[in-house]
Amino acid sequence: MPKRCLLFLLALLPASAFADIQEFKLPNGLKVIVQEDHRSPVVVSQIWYKTGSIDEFNGTTGVAHVLEHMMFKGTKKVPAGQFSRLIAAAGGRENAFTGNDYTAYFQQLEKSKLPLAFRLEADRMANLQLSTGEFAKEIRVVMEERRSRTEDNPQAQVGEQFNTAAYQVHPYGRPVIGWMNDLEHMKVDDARAWYHRWYAPNNATLVVVGDVDPQQVLKLAKQYFGPIKPQLLPLRKPQSEPEQKGERRVTVKAPAKLPYLLMGYHVPALKDPDHDWEPFALEILAGVLDGNASARLNQNLVRRDQIAIDVSDSYDLIQRDRQSMFVVDGTPSEGRTVSDLEYALLDEIERIKEDGVTEQELQRVKAQVIAADVYQRDSMFYQAMQIGRLETTGLPWKFLKDYPARLQTVTPEQVQAVARKYLTGDNLTVAVLDPQPIDENKPKHKEVTHGHN
Amino acid sequence: MAIINRVFATACFLLFSAGSVHAGLPIQHWQTASGSEVYFVENHALPILDISVGFAAGSSHDSRDKAGLASLTQHMLMQGAAGMSDEEISRRLADIGAKLGGDVDPDRAGLSLRTLSSPRESTQALELLGKILQHPDFPEAVLEREKTRIISGLREAATQPESIADKAFNAALYGGHPYGVVEASEPETVAALKRNDLVDFYHAYYHADGAVIALIGDVSREGAAQIAESLSGGLPNGGKPVNMLPPVPFPEAGKEVRIPHPASQSHILLGYPGIKRGDADYFPLYVGNYILGGGGFVSRLTEEVREKRGLVYSVYSYFMPLAELGPFQIGLQTKREQADQSLKLVREVLEKFITGGPTEQELTAAKQNIIGGFPLRIDSNGKILEYLAVIGFYHLPLTYLDDFNGKVAKVTTAQIKDAFARRIKPDNMVTVVVGGESDK
Q: What is the mean pLDDT of residues A414-420?
A: 98
Residue of chain B whose Cα is closest to the Cα of A445: B264
Contact B313 A148 (CB under 8 A): yes
Which of A68, A121, A134, A342 is an active site residue?
A68
Q: Using the CB atoms, write b or e for B333-353: b if 16+ within 10 Å.
A: bbbbbbbbebbebbeebbeeb
Q: Rounded to whole angstroms, how far apart are CA atoms B325 and A300?
A: 44
Contact B311 A144 (CB under 8 A): yes
Single-letter residue type at B256: E
The answer to whether residue A292 neighbours chain B at the CB level (below 8 Å) is yes
How does pLDDT run across A193-213, given as a tens digit for each residue?
Answer: 999 999 999 999 999 999 999
Give which of A201, A198, A38 is closest to A118, Cα–Cα: A201
How does pLDDT run across A2-20, given as a tens digit for each residue?
Answer: 443 333 333 333 334 455 8
> Considering chain A, what is the average pLDDT of its residues?
92
8 Å CB contact between B284 and B358: no
Contact B8 A441 (CB under 8 A): no
Selecting from A42, A302, A374 the residue whose C-beta is nearest the C-beta of B379 gives A42
Contact A443 B13 (CB under 8 A): no
Structural domains of chain B ordered from first start: 24-233 (3.30.830.10), 255-436 (3.30.830.10)
The pLDDT of residue B21: 34
The pLDDT of residue A384: 97
Contact A363 B95 (CB under 8 A): yes
Q: What is the mean pLDDT of residues B91-107?
A: 96
Note the helical H segments in A71-198: 82-89, 114-126, 132-146, 154-166, 180-185, 188-198
Give which of B202, B206, B208 is closest to B38, Cα–Cα: B208
Q: For the beta carbon of residue A436, count every other beta carbon within 10 angstroms.
A: 16
How does pLDDT run across A68-104, given as a tens digit for each residue?
Answer: 999 999 999 999 999 999 999 999 999 999 999 999 9
Q: What is the mean pLDDT of residues A23-31?
A: 98
How does pLDDT run across A321-334, given as a tens digit for each residue?
Answer: 999 999 999 999 99
Show which of residues 256-285 on chain A sit within 8 Å of chain B, judged by CB atoms: 256-258, 262, 264
The pLDDT of residue A83: 97
Chain A residues within an 8 Å CB radius of B303: 81
The answer to whether residue A316 neighbours chain B at the CB level (below 8 Å) is yes
Contact B9 A4 (CB under 8 A): no
How does pLDDT run across B21-58, given as a tens digit for each residue?
Answer: 334 789 999 999 999 999 999 999 999 999 999 999 99
Q: Rounded to whole angstroms, how far apart are CA atoms B406 and B398?
A: 15
Q: What is the mean pLDDT of residues A352-378?
A: 94
Show which of residues 59-78 on chain A sit within 8 Å of chain B, judged by CB atoms: 72
Give which of B272, B318, B12 is closest to A2, Cα–Cα: B12
The pLDDT of residue A19: 57
ipTM of this complex:
0.93
Chain B residues within an 8 Å CB radius of A299: 87, 90
The answer to whether residue A440 neighbours chain B at the CB level (below 8 Å) is yes
Contact B9 A137 (CB under 8 A): no
More confident residue, A131 or B241: A131
Q: Indicate if A68 belongs to the active site.
A: yes
Q: Indicate the helix (H) or strand (E) that contains A428.
A: strand A428-436
Chain B residues within an 8 Å CB radius of A36: none
Chain B residues within an 8 Å CB radius of A370: 97
Contact A149 B2 (CB under 8 A): no
Q: What is the mean pLDDT of residues A25-49?
A: 97
Angle between helices A114-126 and A214-225 in degrees, nearest 10 = 30
Chain A residues within an 8 Å CB radius of B339: none
The pLDDT of residue A446: 38
8 Å CB contact between A148 and B333: yes
Residue B188 has pLDDT above 70, yes or no: yes
Q: Rounded to whole angstroms, how far apart are CA atoms B89 and B78?
A: 7
Q: In angstroms, how far is CA B427 from the centroid of its own chain?
A: 27
Chain A residues within an 8 Å CB radius of B296: 4-5, 84, 88, 93
Percent of chain B with pLDDT over 90: 90
Give which of A401, A232, A418, A263 is closest to A325, Cα–Cα: A263
Q: Which of A147, A177, A288 to mutate to test the interface with B (most CBs of B within 10 A)?
A: A147
3-state helix/strand/coil string of chain B = CCCCCCCCCCCCCCCCCCCCCCCCCCCEEEECCCCCEEEEEECCCCCEEEEEEEECCCHHHCCHHHCCHHHHHHHHHCCEECCEEHHHHHHHHHHCCCEEEEEECCCCEEEEEEEECCHHHHHHHHHHHHHHHHCECCCHHHHHHHHHHHHHHHHHHCCCHHHHHHHHHHHHHHCCCHHHHCCCCCHHHHHCCCHHHHHHHHHHHCCCCCCEEEEEECCCHHHHHHHHHHHHHCCCCCCCCCCCCCCCCCCCCCEEEEECCCCCEEEEEEEEECCECCCCCHHHHHHHHHHHHHCHHHCHHHHHHHHCCCCCCCEEEEECCECCCCEEEEEEEEEHHHHHHHHHHHHHHHHHHHHHCCCHHHHHHHHHHHHHCHHHHCCCHHHHHHHHHHHHHCCCCCCHHHHHHHHHHHCCHHHHHHHHHHHCCHHHCEEEEECCCCCC
Residue of chain B whose Cα is closest to the Cα of A256: B159
The pLDDT of residue B237: 87
In a 13 Å sphere around the CA of B347, the CA atoms on its Cβ side amount to 17
Could you tell me the pTM of the whole model? 0.93
The answer to whether residue A148 neighbours chain B at the CB level (below 8 Å) is yes
| Rg (alpha carbons) of chain B, rounded to whole number | 23
Closest approach of B134 to chain A, Cα-based (Å): 21
Q: What is the mean pLDDT of residues A375-391?
A: 96
Q: Which of B7, B79, B150, B159 to mutate to test the interface with A (most CBs of A within 10 A)?
A: B7
Closest approach of B4 to chain A, Cα-based (Å): 7
Q: What is the mean pLDDT of residues B155-164?
A: 96
